[in-house]
C-alpha cells in the first residue's frame, strides 16, 4: 500500500493544555521522521485571506509579458524581489517551467541591513493591483506567526523547551515568500518536470497549493503524490533542520509536474533561521549517517559553516546566476 502523507490537526496545540501540545508534537515527530512532510489543518489562517491572495495572483499572471516585466527582479537589486518569467529560475541547473514573484520582509531604507546593502533585504516590488500589497503583507505576518507556532511543536517533538528556536534561531527569522504560476507542461521545452527533484535549504516550508495538484514527494521506497487537502498547508523540512538534528529529521526531495490543461498556482513560504544565526546541532539529537550519496545533488547538508545568511546567499545564487553576477558587479563598483 502506498503511504499517505500525515494530516495533523493543529487546533489541540493552541489551547492551554500541555496534553494537547504533547499529542500534536507526537504526530509531528512521526511525520518528520518518516516523511519530512505533513499537512497542517486547524491552523487558523483566514480562508478569506487565502482566497483573496489566490484571486489577486490570478489577476497578475493574466497580464502580458511586457506588463509583468515592469516589476522584474532586475529592478529589485540586492533585495532579490519581483517577477521572473518562465525558464529563468533553475533547479539543479535546469530551467523550471514556472514564473513567479519573489517577496520578503518589507524593509525601509533606514533599516540597518538595507543601509548596509545586505542581499535579500529591502523593499518589495508589488504589482499595481488594488489590495495586492496589503494582502501580501498580511500574509507575511500570518505565515510568520504560523511558522513560529510550528517550530514550537517541532521543538517539543525533539524534547526541547517550547521556545528553543524562538529564543535565538528564529528570533528574527529570514522569511521568503514566493507566488508561483506553473503553465501546462510543455515537453518540447526539454524537461518532463515543471520543477525537478530538489530539497529546500532552510528550516521549514509552509505551502498553500491550489486545486490543480502536481506536487510529489520522495518516500523511502518511491515517489508519492501530495494531493490537495481542503484548507490545509503542506509543510516540509529544509536542509538546515536536517543538519541541526543530525539527520534525525530529514529534508525530503520533492518535485512538481503540472499535467493539467490549466495553470497551477502555489504559494511557498520559507521560514528560516535569522540572517546572522550560526546554526548549531541540537543537544537532544545524535549524528546520523550522512546520506550525501543518496541525495539528488550528492551534497552533504552537514558540511557547511558560517552564518545562515552566507549559506542561503550561495544557494539562491545558483537559482539565479545572472542576477547574482549583476549583484556582485554592483558590490564591486560600490567598494571602489
- Structural domains present in the chain: 7-334 (2.60.120.330)
Using an 8 Å Cβ cutoff, are 16 and 162 in contact? no
Nearest partner of 207 among 40, 76, 18, judged by Cα? 40
pLDDT for residue 12: 87
Sole residue written with cell 494537547: 20
Distance CA 63, CA 67 (A): 6
Q: What is the pTM of this model?
A: 0.91
Sole residue written with cell 521568503: 176
Which residues of 119-184 form beta strands (DSSP E)?
174-182
Sole residue written with cell 504589482: 127
Instruction: Give the pLDDT confidence of 278-322 residue by residue, as tens digits.
Output: 988 898 777 666 666 666 566 666 667 789 999 888 887 777 666
pLDDT for residue 96: 87
Instruction: Give the pLDDT confidence of 216-242 residue by residue, as tens digits.
Output: 999 877 899 999 999 999 999 999 999
Model confidence band, residue 333 (pLDDT cutoffs 50, 70, 90): very low
Q: Above pLDDT 70, what percent of the chain?
A: 86
- List Cα–Cα distances, 234 to 184, 194, 254, 279, in angstroms: 22, 18, 12, 24
Nearest partner of 215 among 267, 175, 251, 178, judged by Cα? 267
- List Cα–Cα distances, 153 to 5, 30, 173, 233, 281, in angstroms: 18, 12, 17, 16, 18
Amino acid at each position: 500500500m502506498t503511504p499517505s502523507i500525515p494530516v495533523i490537526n493543529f487546533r489541540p496545540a493552541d489551547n492551554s493544555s500541555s496534553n494537547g501540545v504533547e499529542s500534536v508534537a507526537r504526530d509531528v515527530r512521526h511525520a518528520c521522521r518518516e516523511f519530512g512532510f505533513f499537512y497542517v489543518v486547524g491552523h487558523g489562517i483566514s480562508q478569506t485571506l487565502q482566497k483573496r491572495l489566490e484571486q489577486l495572483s490570478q489577476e497578475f499572471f493574466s497580464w502580458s509579458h511586457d506588463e509583468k516585466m515592469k516589476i522584474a527582479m532586475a529592478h529589485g537589486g540586492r533585495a532579490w524581489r519581483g517577477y521572473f518569467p518562465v525558464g529563468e529560475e533553475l533547479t539543479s541547473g535546469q530551467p523550471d517551467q514556472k514564473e513567479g514573484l519573489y517577496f520578503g520582509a518589507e524593509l525601509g531604507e533606514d533599516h540597518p541591513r538595507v543601509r548596509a546593502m545586505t542581499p535579500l533585504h529591502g523593499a518589495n516590488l508589488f504589482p499595481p493591483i488594488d489590495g495586492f500589497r496589503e494582502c501580501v503583507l498580511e500574509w507575511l505576518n500570518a505565515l510568520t506567526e504560523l511558522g513560529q507556532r510550528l517550530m514550537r511543536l517541532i521543538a517539543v517533538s525533539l524534547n526541547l523547551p517550547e521556545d528553543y528556536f524562538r529564543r535565538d534561531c528564529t528570533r528574527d527569522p529570514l522569511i521568503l515568500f514566493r507566488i508561483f504560476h506553473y503553465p501546462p507542461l510543455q515537453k518540447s521545452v526539454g524537461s518532463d518536470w515543471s520543477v525537478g527533484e530538489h530539497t529546500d535549504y532552510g528550516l521549514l516550508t509552509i505551502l498553500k497549493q491550489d486545486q490543480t495538484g502536481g506536487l510529489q514527494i520522495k518516500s523511502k521506497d518511491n515517489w508519492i503524490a501530495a494531493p490537495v487537502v481542503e484548507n490545509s498547508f503542506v509543510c516540509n523540512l529544509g536542509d538546515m533542520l536536517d543538519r541541526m538534528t543530525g539527520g534525525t529529521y530529514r529534508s525530503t526531495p520533492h518535485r512538481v509536474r503540472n499535467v493539467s490543461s490549466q495553470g497551477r498556482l502555489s504559494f511557498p513560504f520559507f521560514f528560516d533561521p535569522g540572517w546572522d544565526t550560526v546554526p548549531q546541532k541540537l543537544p537532544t539529537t545524535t549524528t546520523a549517517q550522512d546520506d550525501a550519496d543518496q541525495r539528488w545533488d550528492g551534497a552533504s547538508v552537514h558540511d557547511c559553516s558560517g552564518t545562515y545568511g552566507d549559506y542561503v546567499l550561495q544557494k539562491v545564487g545558483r537559482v539565479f546566476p545572472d542576477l547574482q553576477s549583476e549583484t556582485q558587479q554592483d558590490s564591486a563598483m560600490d567598494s571602489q
